Amino acid sequence: MIHTVSTTPFDDQKPGTSGLRKKVKVFEQSNYLENFVQAIFDSIDGVNGKTLVLGGDGRYYNTTAIQTIAKMASANGCSKLIIGKNGLLSTPAASHLIRKFKTDGGIILSASHNPAGPDEDFGIKYNISNGGPAPEKITDRIFDISKSISEYKISEAGNIDLSTTGNIQLDEMQVQIIDPVTDYAKLMQELFDFEAIQQLFANDFKMTFDAMHAITGPYATTILEGMLKAPAGTVINGTPLQDFGKGHPDPNLVYAKELVDIMWGDNAPDFGAASDGDGDRNMILGNAFFVTPSDSLAVMAANATDIKGYKNGITGVARSMPTSQASDQVAERLNINSYETPTGWKFFGNLLDADKVTLCGEESFGTGSNHVREKDGLWAVLFWLNLLAVKQDSVKNIVENHWQSYGRNYYSRHDYEGLESDLANTFMNELEAMQNGLVGQQLAGQTVSYADNFSYNDEVDGSTSSRQGLRFGFENGSRVVFRLSGTGTVGATLRIYFERYETDPAKLNLDTQEVLSDLIALVEEMIDLKKRSGRDGPTVIT
């Protein structure tokens, strides 16, 4: 029985950098989730006769939302849903399933690295048939529809059993419950030389992978300890928990502390890695060595032909605007395409579809390739493992050799989380006003060569995305970039990105914060940040 329910709009259902993210309590309001799901369906002219992939990172509210979405899909005439067993799918695995089974799209439930639990965060986003996040023209339409929605459709059927793989029915709609790992693991096997990596582990190579109690646990255990025969215990925190063990599954030096302590401790493994809540981010560590995500992308691009799935070369590299320019250096030398896009994976989709780029990356611990249309944490880890097997060298040496060859882009991001929105907006307005007439002037002893609010023209579909972040660029290649986060759920998060390019071989192993100190001081001079925000310093430095 289909039930058409009258509803009234909410005014805050605007998708951000990666879908709609709110506190669970917000999603639990009567009709809140339903309104948004109906708005998704309506934004794509309905789901009648369509097939969709559905799954999430396993956080609190995941299965509740899946049951509701399944009943709504059925009531809206959807012909088939492919759902991960127990409602689980990592973001890259969902992207792969959409592509592999040529579905019309998918719905991914995640708030990524944001903490999980009844008082924490939940999120939902729609991915299109290429497997990637819906572009802005769809997310804008979803928001528009959400502001005037008056009814939604839902089946009165009971809950479906998510715990057993196989085919079931929900009214007229077919539901296929699949193992979340199998298809993804096969794809990884096609891209990487599993025998070479097995050999590496057989030769006493040691690795620790921290799944941070989130979605990558089952994927990493199957692939690393199962298929690649890494010793048991290689994967830590490998069981997904609804509250992620009360942790903050953001793979960086601050939140992945357990792994960091292991990698900087006695008898540290050769290789360390972590992923985030929904499995699309990665952190790469060597023995007492941190690889910045921007450098990781550049190293991958420079060595791609060493890796099975990319042995014929890559067409280009795209990076988000705040990501360091290290990959640009590689693209220039390899004479391949290089693109600078706004923050968020949705901007890479068109470039990947048109085969203008093969690799993409963001400074926020995200790297990926044309194998899916999302960033992919475990993929990046396997890429590095494969590279280590080929090079027979340490992570540290590989990166330091890269710097010797290409120069080093010293890079850091300072986040001020949970600022009052008004204050954060004031900072941005003041900074934008300062950009007027700034080109050619001196700041921190350097000449400003550009100062603007970044705007991106997508050459594939002709769309323009403006106001994507304030850039202050200097003649020596240094940059300071400011933007407000589009994924936070409390107040505003100001992100400040610092970068300096260095080619002097004698200056490639200096302390990053030290090297960037004049740019950091410049920001204080510009907006008196610490004093006005009442903070001693950034909440997180990466």
Q: Which residues are catalytic?
A: 112
Q: Report angle CA 289, 91, 181 to the nearest 5 degrees.
A: 90
**Contacting range for Co ion; rule: CB under 5 A; set: 124-132, 280-288, 386-394, 506-514:** 280-288
**Contacting range for Co ion; rule: CB under 5 A; set: 19-27, 76-84, 275-283, 420-428:** 275-283
Distance of CA 139 to the CA centre of its chain: 17
Handedness of CA 37, 42, 43, 44 (dihedral sign): positive
Chain residues 174-213 in contact with Co ion, contact rule CB under 5 A = none
Residues in the chain: 542
Handedness of CA 227, 233, 239, 245 (dihedral sign): negative
Q: Which of 278, 328, 363, 415 binds Co ion (CB under 5 A)?
A: 278
Chain residues 302-321 in contact with ligand VG1, contact rule CB under 6 A = 320
Backbone angles phi, psi at 474, to 5 degrees: -115, 160
List the beta bridge partners of residue 20.
124
Q: Count CB neighbours of 114 within 10 A.
A: 24
Minimum distance, C-beta of residue 17 to Co ion, in the bound complex (Å): 10
Minimum distance, C-beta of residue 278 to ligand VG1, in the bound complex (Å): 6
Q: With CB under 6 A, what is the number of residues at the site for ligand VG1? A: 18
Residue 364, binding choice from Co ion, ligand VG1, none, Cβ under 5 to 8 Å by partner class? ligand VG1
Chain residues 66-95 in contact with ligand VG1, contact rule CB under 6 A = none
322 within 8 A of 481, measured Cβ to Cβ = yes
Q: Does 120 bind ligand VG1 (CB under 6 A)?
A: no
DSSP state of 227: I
Q: Which residue in the block uniquely carries the two structure tokens 């006493």?
A: 204
Q: Count CB neighbours of 457 within 10 A.
A: 11
271 within 8 A of 393, measured Cβ to Cβ = no
Q: Does 415 bind ligand VG1 (CB under 6 A)?
A: no
Q: Which of 42, 120, 121, 280 binds ligand VG1 (CB under 6 A)?
A: 280
Q: Does 364 bind ligand VG1 (CB under 6 A)?
A: yes
SS3 419: strand
Q: Does 34 bind Co ion (CB under 5 A)?
A: no
Q: Which of 57, 120, 225, 280 binds Co ion (CB under 5 A)?
A: 280
**Contacting range for ligand VG1; rule: CB under 6 A; set: 241-249, 257-265, 306-314, 361-369:** 361-369
Distance, in Å, from the CA atom of 261 to the CA atom of 253, rounded to the nearest integer, reads 10
Q: Between 140 and 306, name the residue whose CB sits nearer to ligand VG1.
A: 140
Interface mask toward ligand VG1 for 450-489; x: CB under 6 A: -----------------------------------xxx--
Q: Which of 13, 17, 208, 350 binds ligand VG1 (CB under 6 A)?
A: 17
Q: With CB under 5 A, what is the number of residues at the site for Co ion? A: 5
Q: Between 320 and 446, name the residue whose CB sits nearer to ligand VG1.
A: 320
Q: Between 42 and 121, name the residue whose CB sits nearer to ligand VG1.
A: 121
Distance, in Å, from the CA atom of 278 to the CA atom of 91, rounded to the nearest integer, reads 6
Chain residues 425-444 in contact with Co ion, contact rule CB under 5 A = none
**Contacting range for ligand VG1; rule: CB under 6 A; set: 35-43, 49-57, 139-147, 273-281:** 273-281
SS3 210: strand
**Contacting range for ligand VG1; rule: CB under 6 A; set: 173-181, 340-348, 419-427, 497-505:** 340-348
| CA 207 vs CA 238, 266, 270, 277: distances in Å | 14, 14, 6, 20
Q: Does 363 bind Co ion (CB under 5 A)?
A: no
Distance of CA 145 to the CA centre of its chain: 26
Distance, in Å, from the CA atom of 285 to the CA atom of 264, rounded to the nearest integer, reads 10
Q: Does 127 bind Co ion (CB under 5 A)?
A: no
Minimum distance, C-beta of residue 500 to ligand VG1, in the bound complex (Å): 20
Beta strands in 151-204 (DSSP E): 151-155, 166-170, 173-178
Q: Between 86 and 112, name the residue whose CB sits nearer to ligand VG1.
A: 112
Q: Which of 15, 131, 344, 349 binds ligand VG1 (CB under 6 A)?
A: 344
Nearest partner of 517 among 481, 480, 484, 483, judged by Cα? 480
Distance, in Å, from the CA atom of 440 to the CA atom of 445, rounded to the nearest integer, reads 12
Q: Which of 270, 276, 295, 376 binds ligand VG1 (CB under 6 A)?
A: 276
Distance, in Å, from the CA atom of 103 to the CA atom of 145, rounded to the nearest integer, reads 23
Q: Between 22 and 281, name the residue whose CB sits nearer to ligand VG1.
A: 281
C-beta nearest to ligand VG1: residue: 112
Distance, in Å, from the CA atom of 61 to the CA atom of 350, rounded to the nearest integer, reads 32
| CA 518 vs CA 151, 385, 419, 495, 526: distances in Å | 56, 36, 24, 17, 12
Nearest partner of 484 among 16, 14, 11, 116, judged by Cα? 16
Q: Does 112 bind Co ion (CB under 5 A)?
A: yes
Q: What residues make contact with ligand VG1 under the rule CB under 6 A? A: 17-18, 112-113, 276, 280-281, 320, 343-345, 362, 364, 366, 485-487, 495
Q: What residues make contact with Co ion under the rule CB under 5 A? A: 112, 276, 278, 280-281
